[in-house]
Amino acid sequence: MCTKGKLMEISQEGLLIVNYSSRLVQLLREVRQLTELGVTVPDSIKQAAKDGEQYYRFGVVLKKVASFFNSMDTQILKTQRPMLLNALMAFEEIVEKRNTHGGVIEWRTPTEYERYVERLQQAATKLAHENRQLRHIHHELSTSVVLLMDIDMLKHRSKWKQHWLEIVGRINVLSDRYPQDRMRKWVIHWDHQVYKVLEAAYCTGLETLNESLQLPESLKVELGFFSSSEQMPLQLKPSVEEIRSIYYHELKKFVSAPSAFKGLNGSNEVYTKMAGSNTQSLVRVYIKAELLFVELCNLLEQYESWSSLCATADLDAVVELCCSSPTLFETNFRALRDKRRAAERLPDFIKVDCICVSLGPLKLSLEDNFQRAYETLLLVLKRTMTNDINEVTHLITDFAPLYITNRSKHT
């Protein structure tokens, strides 16, 4: 039974060992039982039991502290172990601490080991508290990173950025308490977790980039007749070239975002390889971009037929040439009415992936030209009728005397 010698020591395996025999507990129990039965116990054993009772309370405390220390390896996260170095060293220093005379603290020095146990408990409590705090922060970051994955980086870029800054803020709070070199492993661990989240959002964004790319609010694409020339060709405003320039500028910002992304330690070292790891998706992005502009050009061709009326400069001459009889006038009035109704059924907007094209200017121009054509038809019809009436009047005027003379001869 060891009731003399050093209280605690750290083994070569790093385990904290209490030099307090569990047989002492058995001795106390047996002595108590024998005494209750009236059995005479030798004085030496009584003295040992008396000493054991004195050490028992502190021995139990030390056993608990040793058990806590020996199980810390499973409770401390590997990436956070450097951050707890000061607390661990302070605990180990107390374990190895010597008394005021430079000697080791032993069981036979009660006044020394009582203070020793108290300091050891305080160090263990401080270490456990700090470890719980770090694990709690680690769990909070896990929750925040998972929530970050649920935010669409394309549609809600500002919300994603705000949530990211909150994560950075939590890391920065700890950087005021711990040296950067001791936080390095833990920060790199979270950089890799954020990398996974960012790559998932990046890949999803690349797949739907042509449909979800956020273009500047100032970009308003319209289809109509904007030229001041007589031909008045159907155009997009801004032009396809200008739209292409803006589109690729925004596309480049998204594609290069990981390379410019500053991690938790302010470095983009972890994130620079992301674009290179998704080259196939990037190729598809640029193919879809070109198909988008092909579709825009096809849109011009689709509505090009509406420009024939608007491209007619001398509408009056065309109407006079085409409407040489009442039947033709009736046919053109009916055709104009049908075209007008067809124009009213045109959609106000057409969505080409992420680009919304307004057909408002086209419909307004068509309505103006239909009204102009109607007025021209009406004007030419009135003029034609007037000319025909004048011709009939001239004929009547010219042939009336001759008709009267011939009739007089017959009578």
The full DSSP string for 238-275 is: S-HHHHHHHHHHHHHHHHTHHHH---TTS--TTTTTTT
% of residues, the chain, pLDDT over 90: 8
Among the residues of 323-359, which ranges form H helices? Answer: 326-344
- Which one has a higher pLDDT value, 385 or 341? 341
Predicted confidence at residue 101, as pLDDT, reads 47
The first and second tokens of residue 182, run together, are: 């001791």
In percent, how much of the chain has pLDDT > 70?
78
- pLDDT category at 39 given cuts 50, 70, 90 is confident
Q: Average pLDDT for residues 235-262, to the nearest whole number?
A: 87
C-alpha closest to that of 124 among 104, 95, 99, 83: 95
Cα 63 to Cα 20: distance, rounded to the nearest angstrom: 8
Distance CA 201, CA 197 (A): 6
Radius of gyration of the chain (CA): 48
Identify the weakest region by mean pLDDT among 29-38, 97-106, 212-221, 245-254. Answer: 97-106
> pLDDT averaged over the chain?
79
Contact 194/161 with Cβ under 8 angstroms? no
Separation of alpha carbons 82 and 184, rounded Å: 9
Which of 119-133, 184-198, 310-324 has the lowest average pLDDT? 310-324
Its sign, for the CA torsion 374, 375, 378, 379, is negative
Residue 100 banded pLDDT, cuts 50, 70, 90: very low
Question: Is the CB of residue 336 less than 8 Å from the CB of residue 370?
Answer: yes
DSSP SS3 for 2: coil
Rounded-to-integer distance, Cα 386 and Cα 93, Å: 120
Sign of the CA dihedral running 128, 134, 140, 142: negative
Lowest mean pLDDT among 15-24, 185-194, 231-240: 15-24
Does pTM surpass 0.75? no
CA–CA separation, 77 vs 133, rounded Å? 12
Alpha-carbon distance of 328 to 384, in angstroms, equals 13
Is pLDDT at 292 greater than 50 in this prediction? yes
351-392 tens-digit pLDDT = 988 889 999 888 888 888 888 888 888 887 788 788 777 777
